[in-house]
Amino acid sequence: MVRTAVFSVAAACLVLMSVGCQEAQQQQPDIVRVGDKVFQYVQTDTGRWLIHDMNRPTPDIITPGTESTQEAPGTAPSDAIVLFDGKDLDEWTDTKGGPSKWVIQDGYMESVKGAGYIQTKRLFGSCQLHVEFATPSNVQGSSQGRGNSGVFLMNTYEVQVLDSYDNVTYADGQCGTLYGRAVPLVNACRKPGQWQSFDIIFHRPTFKDGKVDRKATFTIFHNGVLIHNHVELQGGTGWKGPHAISDYEPHADALPIALQDHGNPVRYRNVWARELQD
């Protein structure tokens, strides 16, 4: 009786899988009843498993990193790609593939006016990205001219870095914005000169026939505070004039992560990434 029930569910699934059963099964277990007992099965990337099945593969074991303090950067999780640990710029180039003129000192790298963006040699699509930054303690300028830099996913989509502590600017350009597109839920900025963090969960856009097929999404924590909650990016973040922003333009599936030189000496430390499935 059990065998019959299991086979009938399996047979039904085989038919339905051709029309998208697999995805539905991840959300809703199929059910086998044996007498008064209920057995629920879920279809997963690793196979079909009974709920609470001791044979279901468990996640890889990794060693978490350590938390940063104002005095010292923490460390990356053991499965992360360390992009900058304060020692060298081996993982980075300028925009032409040559050595960057950004400087390293005391465990951080700092943008140099006129040096241009710095970008990773490695290419990334969807990823988890941890970045720490500090805007200048010597406060100069105002609005977009104060502590401006940026974290660019896929060399394209800017998470704005700005000194937004007691600094008025347009809402969709303050620190933590998806520049020109999405305003953070709160302003979680620390004072200029203090170390701050972005933890970014990014899913890349996909393109089909020259148009966006699936829009990018961002979830971002700023200093541990949620500022974007699975936000769907509606287009590009490129500046197209005082009151205009760029559209999506098709691009490769993986591109560098870049940090912006906007003419202000912004510092970065403890940069790491973990690749994610799309």
Residue count at the site for Mg ion (CB under 5 A)?
A: 4
- Residue type for 244, please? A
Residues 1-40 that bind Mg ion (CB under 5 A): none
Q: Amino acid identity of 95? A: T
Which residue, 77 or 116, is less far from Mg ion as judged by CB? 116
Name the minimum Å distance from CB 210 to Mg ion. 28
150 sits near Mg ion (criterion: CB under 5 A): yes
Residue 120 or 177: the one with the smaller Cβ distance to Mg ion is 177
Is position 176 an interface residue for Mg ion (rule: CB under 5 A)? no
Which positions from 251 to 270 touch Mg ion by CB under 5 A, shown as an x/- string? Answer: ---------x-x--------
Inter-CA distances, 40 with 25, 51, 52, 60, Å: 11, 6, 9, 25
Closer to Mg ion by CB, 197 or 260: give it. 260
Q: Which long-range contacts (CB under 8 A, 24 or more apart) does 183-191 make?
A: 184/220, 184/222, 184/227, 184/228, 185/226, 185/227, 185/228, 185/229, 186/225, 186/227, 188/222, 188/223, 188/225, 188/227, 189/163, 189/164, 189/165, 189/222, 189/223, 190/165, 190/223, 191/165
Cβ of residue 65: shortest distance to Mg ion, in angstroms? 27
Task: State the minimum distance, in angstroms, from the CB of residue 165 to Mg ion.
Answer: 16
Q: Which residue is nearest to Mg ion (CB)?
A: 150
Nearer to Mg ion, 148 or 197 (CB): 148
Min CB(188)–Mg ion separation in Å: 17
d(CA 113, CA 104): 14
Question: Least distance from C-beta 266 to Mg ion, angstroms?
Answer: 9
Q: Report which residue type is found at 232.
A: E
Q: Segment contacting Mg ion (CB under 5 A): 90-98, 105-113, 145-153, 198-206?
A: 145-153
Least distance CB 124 / Mg ion (angstroms): 19
Site mask, Mg ion, residues 204-243, x = CB under 5 A? Answer: ----------------------------------------
* Secondary structure class of 168 (helix, strand, coil): coil
Question: What CA–CA distances, in Å, run from 204 to 85, 121, 157?
Answer: 25, 18, 10
- Asked if 208 contacts 202 with a C-beta cutoff of 8 angstroms, the reply is no
CA distance 181 to 220: 14
Binding-site ranges for Mg ion (CB under 5 A): 148, 150, 260, 262
